Amino acid sequence: MLSYILRRVFQSVIVLLVVGLVAFSMFRFVGDPIDNMLGQERTQADIDRLRSDLGLDQPFVVQYAKFLRGAVQGNFGVSYRQGRPVSTIIAERAPATLELAAVSGFLAITLGIGLGVFTAIRRQGFAANAIMTVSLIGVSLPTFLIGILLIYIFSVELDLLPSFGRGETVRIGGWSTGFLTASGLKALILPAITLGLYQMTLIMRLVRSEMLEVLRADYVRFARARGLSDRVVNFRHALKNTLVPVITVTGLQLGSIIAFAIITETVFQWPGVGLLFINAIQFVDIPVMAAYLMLISVMFVSINLIVDLLYYAIDPRLRIDGRTT
Protein backbone atom coordinates (compact mmCIF):
# COMPACT_ATOMS: atom_id res chain seq x y z
CA MET A 1 0.00 0.00 0.00
CA LEU A 2 2.74 2.46 0.96
CA SER A 3 4.76 1.75 -2.19
CA TYR A 4 1.64 2.25 -4.30
CA ILE A 5 0.95 5.64 -2.66
CA LEU A 6 4.54 6.80 -3.06
CA ARG A 7 4.56 5.75 -6.71
CA ARG A 8 1.34 7.64 -7.42
CA VAL A 9 2.56 10.74 -5.57
CA PHE A 10 5.80 10.72 -7.56
CA GLN A 11 3.86 10.43 -10.82
CA SER A 12 1.61 13.31 -9.73
CA VAL A 13 4.58 15.58 -9.09
CA ILE A 14 6.00 14.81 -12.54
CA VAL A 15 2.64 15.59 -14.14
CA LEU A 16 2.45 18.93 -12.33
CA LEU A 17 5.93 19.92 -13.47
CA VAL A 18 5.18 19.02 -17.09
CA VAL A 19 1.83 20.82 -17.07
CA GLY A 20 3.40 23.90 -15.54
CA LEU A 21 6.17 23.90 -18.13
CA VAL A 22 3.76 23.55 -21.05
CA ALA A 23 1.42 26.22 -19.72
CA PHE A 24 4.22 28.64 -18.97
CA SER A 25 5.63 28.09 -22.46
CA MET A 26 2.29 28.91 -24.08
CA PHE A 27 2.14 32.29 -22.36
CA ARG A 28 4.98 33.51 -24.54
CA PHE A 29 2.61 33.40 -27.52
CA VAL A 30 -0.40 35.05 -25.85
CA GLY A 31 0.97 38.56 -26.23
CA ASP A 32 3.18 41.14 -24.60
CA PRO A 33 1.79 42.45 -21.27
CA ILE A 34 3.87 45.62 -21.69
CA ASP A 35 1.49 46.77 -24.43
CA ASN A 36 -1.43 46.84 -21.99
CA MET A 37 0.50 48.34 -19.07
CA LEU A 38 2.02 51.38 -20.77
CA GLY A 39 0.21 54.13 -22.63
CA GLN A 40 0.65 55.32 -26.18
CA GLU A 41 3.32 57.84 -25.19
CA ARG A 42 5.69 55.26 -23.85
CA THR A 43 9.33 55.35 -24.81
CA GLN A 44 11.73 52.50 -25.39
CA ALA A 45 13.39 53.35 -22.09
CA ASP A 46 10.04 52.94 -20.30
CA ILE A 47 9.50 49.58 -21.99
CA ASP A 48 12.97 48.32 -21.07
CA ARG A 49 12.65 49.49 -17.47
CA LEU A 50 9.25 47.86 -16.94
CA ARG A 51 10.37 44.67 -18.64
CA SER A 52 13.35 44.53 -16.31
CA ASP A 53 11.20 45.22 -13.24
CA LEU A 54 8.87 42.37 -14.15
CA GLY A 55 11.73 40.00 -14.92
CA LEU A 56 10.56 39.50 -18.50
CA ASP A 57 14.03 40.20 -19.84
CA GLN A 58 15.38 37.05 -18.15
CA PRO A 59 15.70 33.68 -19.94
CA PHE A 60 12.64 31.46 -20.00
CA VAL A 61 14.22 28.83 -17.73
CA VAL A 62 14.98 31.44 -15.09
CA GLN A 63 11.43 32.81 -15.22
CA TYR A 64 9.95 29.35 -14.88
CA ALA A 65 12.25 28.42 -12.00
CA LYS A 66 11.32 31.62 -10.13
CA PHE A 67 7.65 30.92 -10.72
CA LEU A 68 7.94 27.36 -9.34
CA ARG A 69 9.92 28.52 -6.33
CA GLY A 70 7.28 31.13 -5.52
CA ALA A 71 4.36 28.74 -6.25
CA VAL A 72 5.65 26.21 -3.72
CA GLN A 73 5.55 29.00 -1.12
CA GLY A 74 2.07 30.15 -2.23
CA ASN A 75 3.46 33.27 -3.88
CA PHE A 76 2.36 33.62 -7.51
CA GLY A 77 3.63 37.13 -7.98
CA VAL A 78 1.75 40.37 -8.60
CA SER A 79 -1.04 40.84 -11.11
CA TYR A 80 0.03 42.99 -14.06
CA ARG A 81 -3.47 44.40 -14.35
CA GLN A 82 -4.49 45.04 -10.72
CA GLY A 83 -1.08 45.46 -9.10
CA ARG A 84 -2.09 43.18 -6.22
CA PRO A 85 -0.77 39.77 -5.09
CA VAL A 86 -2.24 37.02 -7.24
CA SER A 87 -2.79 34.78 -4.23
CA THR A 88 -5.00 37.46 -2.65
CA ILE A 89 -7.05 37.89 -5.82
CA ILE A 90 -7.60 34.15 -6.21
CA ALA A 91 -8.52 33.81 -2.53
CA GLU A 92 -11.24 36.43 -3.07
CA ARG A 93 -12.63 34.65 -6.14
CA ALA A 94 -12.20 31.03 -5.06
CA PRO A 95 -15.27 30.79 -2.76
CA ALA A 96 -17.62 31.59 -5.64
CA THR A 97 -16.14 28.91 -7.90
CA LEU A 98 -15.86 26.28 -5.16
CA GLU A 99 -19.47 26.77 -4.03
CA LEU A 100 -20.69 26.56 -7.61
CA ALA A 101 -18.60 23.43 -8.22
CA ALA A 102 -19.75 21.83 -4.96
CA VAL A 103 -23.45 22.27 -5.74
CA SER A 104 -22.97 21.15 -9.35
CA GLY A 105 -20.97 18.11 -8.27
CA PHE A 106 -23.56 17.16 -5.65
CA LEU A 107 -26.38 17.37 -8.20
CA ALA A 108 -24.37 15.46 -10.80
CA ILE A 109 -23.44 12.60 -8.45
CA THR A 110 -26.74 12.17 -6.61
CA LEU A 111 -29.02 12.55 -9.63
CA GLY A 112 -26.62 10.73 -11.94
CA ILE A 113 -26.32 7.63 -9.74
CA GLY A 114 -29.99 7.67 -8.72
CA LEU A 115 -31.36 8.04 -12.24
CA GLY A 116 -28.79 5.59 -13.60
CA VAL A 117 -29.90 2.90 -11.17
CA PHE A 118 -33.58 3.66 -11.83
CA THR A 119 -33.27 3.48 -15.62
CA ALA A 120 -31.34 0.21 -15.32
CA ILE A 121 -33.85 -1.48 -13.01
CA ARG A 122 -36.91 -0.10 -14.87
CA ARG A 123 -35.31 -0.21 -18.30
CA GLN A 124 -38.54 -1.23 -20.05
CA GLY A 125 -40.68 1.42 -18.38
CA PHE A 126 -41.96 4.62 -19.95
CA ALA A 127 -40.32 6.85 -17.33
CA ALA A 128 -36.89 5.27 -17.88
CA ASN A 129 -37.12 5.68 -21.64
CA ALA A 130 -38.25 9.28 -21.23
CA ILE A 131 -35.30 10.03 -18.92
CA MET A 132 -32.85 8.48 -21.36
CA THR A 133 -34.32 10.52 -24.21
CA VAL A 134 -34.15 13.78 -22.27
CA SER A 135 -30.59 12.98 -21.15
CA LEU A 136 -29.48 13.34 -24.75
CA ILE A 137 -29.95 17.10 -24.32
CA GLY A 138 -27.31 17.25 -21.62
CA VAL A 139 -24.87 15.18 -23.66
CA SER A 140 -25.33 16.81 -27.05
CA LEU A 141 -25.89 20.52 -26.33
CA PRO A 142 -22.85 22.68 -25.45
CA THR A 143 -22.72 24.20 -22.00
CA PHE A 144 -22.98 27.82 -23.11
CA LEU A 145 -26.14 27.07 -25.13
CA ILE A 146 -27.76 25.31 -22.17
CA GLY A 147 -26.99 28.36 -20.02
CA ILE A 148 -28.47 30.75 -22.58
CA LEU A 149 -31.63 28.63 -22.87
CA LEU A 150 -32.07 28.55 -19.10
CA ILE A 151 -31.58 32.32 -18.90
CA TYR A 152 -34.17 32.87 -21.64
CA ILE A 153 -36.76 30.61 -20.02
CA PHE A 154 -36.37 31.31 -16.30
CA SER A 155 -35.01 34.88 -16.35
CA VAL A 156 -36.42 36.54 -19.46
CA GLU A 157 -39.76 34.81 -19.99
CA LEU A 158 -40.74 33.65 -16.50
CA ASP A 159 -38.69 36.21 -14.51
CA LEU A 160 -38.15 33.71 -11.70
CA LEU A 161 -34.38 33.58 -11.33
CA PRO A 162 -31.54 36.09 -11.82
CA SER A 163 -29.57 35.87 -15.04
CA PHE A 164 -26.17 37.03 -13.78
CA GLY A 165 -24.14 37.70 -10.66
CA ARG A 166 -23.84 35.89 -7.37
CA GLY A 167 -26.46 37.74 -5.35
CA GLU A 168 -25.90 38.87 -1.78
CA THR A 169 -23.13 37.17 0.15
CA VAL A 170 -22.25 36.83 3.82
CA ARG A 171 -18.64 36.92 4.95
CA ILE A 172 -17.62 34.34 7.54
CA GLY A 173 -14.00 34.89 8.45
CA GLY A 174 -12.09 34.89 5.18
CA TRP A 175 -14.85 33.11 3.26
CA SER A 176 -17.73 34.80 1.44
CA THR A 177 -20.77 32.57 0.93
CA GLY A 178 -24.08 32.93 -0.82
CA PHE A 179 -25.63 29.90 0.90
CA LEU A 180 -26.99 32.02 3.75
CA THR A 181 -29.00 34.52 1.69
CA ALA A 182 -32.11 34.03 -0.41
CA SER A 183 -30.72 35.99 -3.37
CA GLY A 184 -27.48 34.02 -3.20
CA LEU A 185 -29.31 30.71 -3.35
CA LYS A 186 -31.52 31.88 -6.23
CA ALA A 187 -28.50 33.12 -8.17
CA LEU A 188 -26.83 29.74 -7.73
CA ILE A 189 -29.60 27.62 -9.28
CA LEU A 190 -29.15 28.30 -13.00
CA PRO A 191 -25.31 28.21 -13.03
CA ALA A 192 -25.27 24.99 -10.99
CA ILE A 193 -27.70 23.26 -13.35
CA THR A 194 -25.80 24.48 -16.39
CA LEU A 195 -22.44 23.31 -15.06
CA GLY A 196 -23.61 19.98 -13.67
CA LEU A 197 -26.02 18.84 -16.40
CA TYR A 198 -23.43 17.32 -18.71
CA GLN A 199 -21.63 15.52 -15.89
CA MET A 200 -24.96 14.29 -14.49
CA THR A 201 -26.07 12.76 -17.78
CA LEU A 202 -22.65 11.21 -18.33
CA ILE A 203 -22.62 9.61 -14.87
CA MET A 204 -26.22 8.47 -15.29
CA ARG A 205 -25.58 6.72 -18.60
CA LEU A 206 -22.38 5.15 -17.26
CA VAL A 207 -24.12 3.84 -14.13
CA ARG A 208 -26.97 2.47 -16.22
CA SER A 209 -24.58 0.67 -18.57
CA GLU A 210 -22.53 -0.83 -15.72
CA MET A 211 -25.67 -1.76 -13.78
CA LEU A 212 -27.16 -3.63 -16.72
CA GLU A 213 -23.92 -5.54 -17.17
CA VAL A 214 -23.75 -6.47 -13.49
CA LEU A 215 -27.39 -7.57 -13.42
CA ARG A 216 -26.57 -10.14 -16.09
CA ALA A 217 -23.69 -11.60 -14.06
CA ASP A 218 -23.86 -15.14 -12.71
CA TYR A 219 -23.57 -14.19 -9.05
CA VAL A 220 -26.63 -11.93 -9.38
CA ARG A 221 -28.62 -14.78 -10.89
CA PHE A 222 -27.44 -17.02 -8.06
CA ALA A 223 -28.57 -14.42 -5.52
CA ARG A 224 -32.01 -14.35 -7.10
CA ALA A 225 -32.12 -18.15 -7.12
CA ARG A 226 -31.47 -18.11 -3.36
CA GLY A 227 -34.70 -16.18 -2.96
CA LEU A 228 -33.23 -12.80 -2.07
CA SER A 229 -35.51 -9.83 -2.63
CA ASP A 230 -35.04 -7.49 -5.57
CA ARG A 231 -34.06 -4.68 -3.19
CA VAL A 232 -31.24 -6.72 -1.67
CA VAL A 233 -30.02 -7.97 -5.04
CA ASN A 234 -30.12 -4.57 -6.72
CA PHE A 235 -28.70 -2.38 -3.97
CA ARG A 236 -26.52 -4.67 -1.87
CA HIS A 237 -24.95 -6.81 -4.57
CA ALA A 238 -25.40 -5.15 -7.98
CA LEU A 239 -24.98 -1.48 -7.05
CA LYS A 240 -21.85 -2.07 -4.96
CA ASN A 241 -20.06 -3.71 -7.88
CA THR A 242 -21.44 -1.15 -10.32
CA LEU A 243 -19.82 1.77 -8.51
CA VAL A 244 -16.29 0.38 -8.67
CA PRO A 245 -15.56 1.48 -12.27
CA VAL A 246 -17.81 4.52 -11.90
CA ILE A 247 -15.59 6.01 -9.19
CA THR A 248 -12.79 6.79 -11.64
CA VAL A 249 -14.98 8.60 -14.13
CA THR A 250 -16.87 10.42 -11.40
CA GLY A 251 -13.65 11.71 -9.86
CA LEU A 252 -12.42 13.03 -13.18
CA GLN A 253 -15.78 14.68 -13.82
CA LEU A 254 -15.53 16.52 -10.50
CA GLY A 255 -12.22 17.93 -11.67
CA SER A 256 -13.83 18.88 -14.97
CA ILE A 257 -16.55 20.79 -13.14
CA ILE A 258 -13.94 23.08 -11.60
CA ALA A 259 -11.85 23.37 -14.76
CA PHE A 260 -14.73 24.00 -17.15
CA ALA A 261 -16.52 26.43 -14.88
CA ILE A 262 -14.95 29.08 -17.13
CA ILE A 263 -17.78 28.82 -19.66
CA THR A 264 -20.54 28.87 -17.07
CA GLU A 265 -19.00 31.77 -15.18
CA THR A 266 -18.68 33.74 -18.41
CA VAL A 267 -22.30 33.14 -19.42
CA PHE A 268 -23.69 34.08 -16.00
CA GLN A 269 -20.97 36.62 -15.13
CA TRP A 270 -20.26 34.57 -12.03
CA PRO A 271 -17.43 36.28 -10.07
CA GLY A 272 -15.19 33.22 -9.77
CA VAL A 273 -11.68 32.28 -10.80
CA GLY A 274 -12.88 31.13 -14.23
CA LEU A 275 -14.07 34.62 -15.14
CA LEU A 276 -10.86 35.98 -13.62
CA PHE A 277 -8.88 33.76 -16.00
CA ILE A 278 -10.82 35.01 -19.04
CA ASN A 279 -10.14 38.62 -18.07
CA ALA A 280 -6.48 37.77 -17.48
CA ILE A 281 -6.19 36.43 -21.04
CA GLN A 282 -7.61 39.64 -22.47
CA PHE A 283 -5.05 41.73 -20.57
CA VAL A 284 -2.17 39.23 -20.90
CA ASP A 285 -1.94 39.00 -17.10
CA ILE A 286 0.61 36.17 -17.06
CA PRO A 287 0.90 35.69 -13.25
CA VAL A 288 -2.88 35.23 -12.93
CA MET A 289 -3.03 32.82 -15.88
CA ALA A 290 -0.11 30.79 -14.59
CA ALA A 291 -1.52 30.61 -11.07
CA TYR A 292 -4.94 29.55 -12.33
CA LEU A 293 -3.60 26.76 -14.54
CA MET A 294 -1.30 25.47 -11.81
CA LEU A 295 -4.13 25.41 -9.26
CA ILE A 296 -6.42 23.60 -11.70
CA SER A 297 -3.65 21.10 -12.37
CA VAL A 298 -3.16 20.53 -8.64
CA MET A 299 -6.90 19.92 -8.23
CA PHE A 300 -7.02 17.48 -11.13
CA VAL A 301 -3.97 15.57 -9.94
CA SER A 302 -5.18 15.52 -6.32
CA ILE A 303 -8.64 14.24 -7.28
CA ASN A 304 -7.09 11.64 -9.55
CA LEU A 305 -4.76 10.52 -6.73
CA ILE A 306 -7.67 10.24 -4.29
CA VAL A 307 -9.68 8.24 -6.84
CA ASP A 308 -6.76 5.87 -7.38
CA LEU A 309 -6.43 5.30 -3.64
CA LEU A 310 -10.17 4.70 -3.28
CA TYR A 311 -10.06 2.30 -6.20
CA TYR A 312 -7.17 0.49 -4.54
CA ALA A 313 -9.09 0.26 -1.27
CA ILE A 314 -12.36 -0.90 -2.86
CA ASP A 315 -11.14 -3.33 -5.52
CA PRO A 316 -9.40 -6.33 -3.88
CA ARG A 317 -7.89 -7.36 -7.23
CA LEU A 318 -5.53 -4.38 -7.14
CA ARG A 319 -4.33 -5.30 -3.66
CA ILE A 320 -3.68 -8.87 -4.77
CA ASP A 321 -1.80 -7.67 -7.87
CA GLY A 322 0.22 -5.30 -5.70
CA ARG A 323 1.40 -8.16 -3.50
CA THR A 324 2.42 -10.33 -6.45
CA THR A 325 4.46 -7.61 -8.25
Query: What is the value of pTM for the model shown?
Result: 0.81
Considering the domain boundaries, does residue 216 fall inside one? yes
- Taking 90 as the threshold, does the pLDDT of residue 268 lie above it? yes
Considering the domain boundaries, does residue 61 fall inside one? no
> Cα separation of 158 and 164, whole Å?
15
* Chain centroid, CA 179 distance in Å: 20
Considering the domain boundaries, does residue 60 fall inside one? no
How many domains does the chain fold into?
Answer: 1
Tens digits of residue pLDDT in 280-291? 888 878 888 888
Considering the domain boundaries, does residue 169 fall inside one? yes
Tens digits of residue pLDDT in 33-83? 777 667 667 777 877 887 787 777 788 788 888 878 887 887 888 888 887
Considering the domain boundaries, does residue 294 fall inside one? no
Percent of the chain whose pLDDT exceeds 70? 91
The amino acid that residue 178 corresponds to is: G
Tens digits of residue pLDDT in 157-172? 998 999 888 989 898 8
* pLDDT score at 186: 93
Tell me which range, 22-26, 187-191, 298-302, 316-320, is most confidently predicted by mean pLDDT.
187-191
Q: In 3-state terms, what secondary structure has residue 171?
A: strand
Instruction: Tell me which residue range forms the domain holding 206.
Output: 95-282
Considering the domain boundaries, does residue 247 fall inside one? yes
Q: In 3-state terms, what secondary structure has residue 283?
A: coil
Tens digits of residue pLDDT in 79-123? 888 878 888 899 889 899 999 999 999 999 899 988 998 998 888
> Average pLDDT, stretch 268-278?
90
Considering the domain boundaries, does residue 171 fall inside one? yes
- Taking 90 as the threshold, does the pLDDT of residue 29 lie above it? no
Which CATH number does the domain housing residue 219 bear?
1.10.3720.10
> Cα separation of 27 and 179, whole Å?
36
Considering the domain boundaries, does residue 25 fall inside one? no
Query: Mean pLDDT for the chain?
Result: 83
